[in-house]
Amino acid sequence: MKKINILGVLSALILVAGLIAPVSAYSLLFFNPSVVESNPGEQPAIDLIMEGCNAGISGYALYLVLDNPAVASFGEITFPSWVTLNKVEHINSTTVLIQGADPGKLVEPGVSISNLAKISIHALKAGYATLSVEPVIIDDDRKGRYDPVSKTASIVISGAGPSPLIPATR
């Protein structure tokens, strides 16, 4: 009897899960490169990439966080060509909200990996900073929603200024 009850509860949970917005299979948000070495005054760029977006992407809203604003801050954030609707909103000194949508349906199901944004970082002074992404919503093209795992990127700013380019000697 107890077994039946457990099975019943499990079935109900599965049913409820099914009724809630369907979630696409495993997906991953990561930065490329994952480690950035730079010098103060430079503006390295990092790509935000999504892997496992096999059901297409209709749009996304993500928070980007740089945890050490004294070392690095956000520069320009640009979007790939398929993101024809986009928005960048600076929430505070460490956080920006970025949104993108694909009304032209350019990233359709079948594309497994896609660039979401290119993030420029202002290297301010020597030190470490971590760039992380917190997805709010990422919707697919099949009336479903992704729930991706996300990885951080490490920003390493060296102490010296820009290294002078030394002409090569013969």
Partner 1 sequence: MERVSVSWIFRACLLFILIGMVWGGVQAEQLSQTYMPGEVIVRYADIGSGTAIASVASSLNTEIGADTIYSEEKLGIKGMQVVKIPDTMSVTEAVQYFKSNDYVSYAEPNFVTYLPGPIGGTGNSISESGEDTPGMTIPDDPDFNLQWGLYNTLNINTERADISAPEAWNISTGSPDIIVAVIDTGVDFSHEDLADNCLSGYNFVDFDENPVDDNGHGTHCAGIISAVTNNSIGIAGVSWNSKILPVKVFNSAGKSNVALEIMGIKYAEREGADIISCSWGGYTYSETLKEVIDRSPALFVCAAGNEGYDIDEIPHYPAAYSSPNIISVGASDGMDMPAWFSNYGVSSVDLFAPGTEIYSTLPGTYGFMDGTSMAAPFVSGVAALIKGQKPAYDAIAVKNLILSSVDQKYWLDTVCSTGGRLNAYRPLSQVLPLTAEFKAEPGSGTIPLNVQFTDLSSGNPESWRWTFGDGFESGQQNPAHMYMKPGKYSVTLTIFKEGLSSFAEKEDYINVKPPFQPVKAFPDKKGDYHPVPTDQDDDGLFEDINGNGWLEYEDPKLLFDQILFAIKEEPVGQFDFDGSGFIGFGDVVKLYQMV
Distance CA 56, CA 23 (A): 13
How many of the chain's residues bind partner 1 (CB under 8 A)?
21
Residue type, 3: K
Site string for partner 1, 92-111 (x = CB under 8 A): -------x-xxx-x------
If one counts every other C-beta atom within 10 angstroms of the C-beta of residue 145, the result is: 17
Helix (H) or strand (E) holding 118: strand 113-123
Question: Smallest distance from the beta carbon of 63 to partner 1, in angstroms?
Answer: 11
Instruction: Tell me which of 87, 90, 125, 151 binds partner 1, using CB under 8 A.
Output: 87
Query: Helix, strand or coil for residue 138?
Result: strand
Site string for partner 1, 130-169 (x = CB under 8 A): ------xx-xxx-xxx------------------------
Cβ-based nearer residue to partner 1, 71 or 107: 107
Residue 130's SS3 state is strand
Q: Determine the Cα–Cα distance for residues 46 and 39; give it in Å rounded to an integer.
A: 15
Residue ranges of alpha helices (H) inside the chain are 2-19
Q: Sign of the CA dihedral 77, 81, 83, 84?
A: positive
Q: Which is nearer to partner 1, 38 or 58 (CB)?
A: 58
- The minimum distance between CB 148 and partner 1, in angstroms, equals 15
Binding mask 44-63 for partner 1 (x = CB under 8 A): --------------xxxx--
Query: Which residues of the shown chain bind partner 1 in the complex (CB under 8 A)?
Result: 19, 21, 58-61, 85, 87, 99, 101-103, 105, 136-137, 139-141, 143-145
